[in-house]
Amino acid sequence: MEVDKKDENESESSEQVVNPWEVSAKDGGKIDYDKLIDKFGCQRLDESLIDRVQRLTSRQPHVFLRRGVFFAHRDFNEILDAYEKGDKFYLYTGRGPSSEALHLGHLIPFMFTKYLQEAFKVPLVIQLTDDEKCMWKNLSVEESQRLARENAKDIIACGFDVTKTFIFSDFDYVGGAFYKNMVKVSKCVTLNKAMGIFGFSGEDHIGKLSFPPVQAVPSFPSSFPHLFPGKDNLRCLIPCAIDQDPYFRMTRDVAPRLGYSKPALIESSFFPALQGENGKMSASDPNSAIYVTDTAKDIKNKINKYAFSGGQDSVEKHRELGANLEVDIPVKYLSFFLEDDSELEHIKKEYGEGRMLTGEVKKKLTEVLTEMVERHRRSRAAVTDEMVDAFMAVRPLPSMFE
């Protein structure tokens, strides 16, 4: 995440900061999601919407929905209304390829998007913002393109269907209809507005200023004439982490002026670092997260040594008081990745009331994560350069709604 001048001002007012380049809680505490929803103006994803998803898709809602990982939205109910009437939509998500090493937090939006693709049977476009990373992280063009391709392999390994998925990198794809939309969007956003939304200043180079339209236009089907010819009214649903909201607030503001539908959003909370909510998950600290390249041994070690425990200091105290589930990382991680609701409830109850010890919970987490990472690694090994080429080829997807 880029740290720009904005955070100097923010920390003075000790407010929490959430934008595409920085996420930090107030006074080193936890992110207040209610405040965030209020401030951004999006909606809470409530039970009734989740039930509706279950009815419409005839399958159990994804674990991230059930556990409130994806907790906020804009216009998701409208998407469901249209879907019920038989009007489909397409999915749009992306990744900024800043590093080769992906950790579990990075995979979350992709795991959820894969579920959405399968459950609703809709196509998906995935944007790799190699240009953004080239500009913000000062990578060379070649390096950012290389990272984009490497990240594409991990993304494909999440299990996307090649007959319904188009992956593109900005350096490869920007141009043509896509660029025309970029210009249309740019014309609708003044410099002042951009500086207000994104915190740009006179010191930032103009590349950064002109980037937001690149992330905005995949929300419009006319940006992909090879995929959605003649379907200008096709709606778009964007699963993303909530820190990306500013881009899409801008996009939703501009869309009606261009005669386009506003994209809908479904947003997730942040994945905590191993050291706890207050810790920062940092690419330079390998022990702050579980990486998809970690071995079973690494995972076991990291969880045992670094996962912040809400258990008490001594066994006796623990049996008496139980664990503090609010801050316990293993339980938090399990709530993300343990599929079985009743099993999770059981663990929370036993651990919270002191009958189960931290060691057991960590052991369970190690099992769950090891299986996940193993499965990912196996799939990743099957992704060849040719497969990446296939996903990234500008080709029609005739069975995209089947």
Partner 1 sequence: MGFSKDQLLNRLQELEIDYTKYEHPPVLTVEAQAKYVSSSEGALSKNLFFKDKKHRYYIVSAMVDTKVDMKVLSQRLGLGKGGIRMAPEEALTQLLQVSLECVTPFAVVNESARDVSLLLDQNFKNQKRCIFHPLSNEVSVSLNTSGLDKFLKSIERDPVYVDLEANPAVGKDQPPDLAVYVPSNSVVIPEISNETSTKQTPPPKSVSAEVKPVASAKPSKPATKGKSVVVEKSTPLAFKNPEKFVEEIMDKTSALLLSEAKVENVEALAETLRKRLTSELTHLAIMYKNTAYTEGFHAGKHSQPKRL
Nearer to partner 1, 121 or 249 (CB): 121
Q: Could you tell me the smallest distance in angstroms from the CB atom of residue 294 to partner 1?
A: 11
Any contact of residue 25 with partner 1 (CB under 8 A)? no
Nearer to partner 1, 22 or 100 (CB): 100
Q: Could you tell me the smallest distance in angstroms from the CB atom of residue 186 to partner 1?
A: 30
Any contact of residue 296 with partner 1 (CB under 8 A)? yes
Q: Could you tell me the smallest distance in angstroms from the CB atom of residue 154 to partner 1?
A: 14
Q: Could you tell me the smallest distance in angstroms from the CB atom of residue 174 to partner 1?
A: 21
Any contact of residue 363 with partner 1 (CB under 8 A)? yes
Is residue 321 within 8 Å of 312, Cβ to Cβ?
yes
Of 16-24, 80-88, 92-100, 268-276, the segment contacting partner 1 by CB under 8 A is 92-100
Number of shown-chain residues binding partner 1 (CB under 8 A): 44
Question: Binding partner 1 by CB under 8 A: which of 5, 295, 349, 355?
Answer: 295
d(CA 249, CA 219): 12
Non-local (6+) Cβ contacts of 217 within 8 A are 178, 181, 182, 185, 223
Any contact of residue 204 with partner 1 (CB under 8 A)? no
Is residue 152 within 8 Å of 128, Cβ to Cβ?
yes
Biggest alpha carbon–alpha carbon distance for the chain? 68
Q: Could you tell me the smallest distance in angstroms from the CB atom of residue 142 to partner 1?
A: 5
Nearer to partner 1, 56 or 382 (CB): 382
Is residue 89 within 8 Å of 235, Cβ to Cβ?
yes
Is residue 125 within 8 Å of 91, Cβ to Cβ?
yes
Contact code string over 135-174 relative to partner 1, x by CB under 8 A: ----xx-xx--xx--------x--xxxxx-----------
What is the b/e burial string over 150-169, where b = at least 16 CB atoms within 10 angstroms of the residue's CB? bbbbbbbbbebbeebbbbbb
d(CA 347, CA 279): 24
Is residue 114 within 8 Å of 158, Cβ to Cβ?
yes
d(CA 227, CA 20): 28
Is residue 354 within 8 Å of 318, Cβ to Cβ?
yes
Any contact of residue 371 with partner 1 (CB under 8 A)? yes
Q: Which residues bind partner 1 (CB under 8 A)?
A: 98-101, 118, 139-140, 142-143, 146-147, 156, 159-163, 283-284, 286, 295-296, 338-340, 363, 367-368, 370-371, 374-375, 377-379, 381-382, 384-387, 389-390, 393
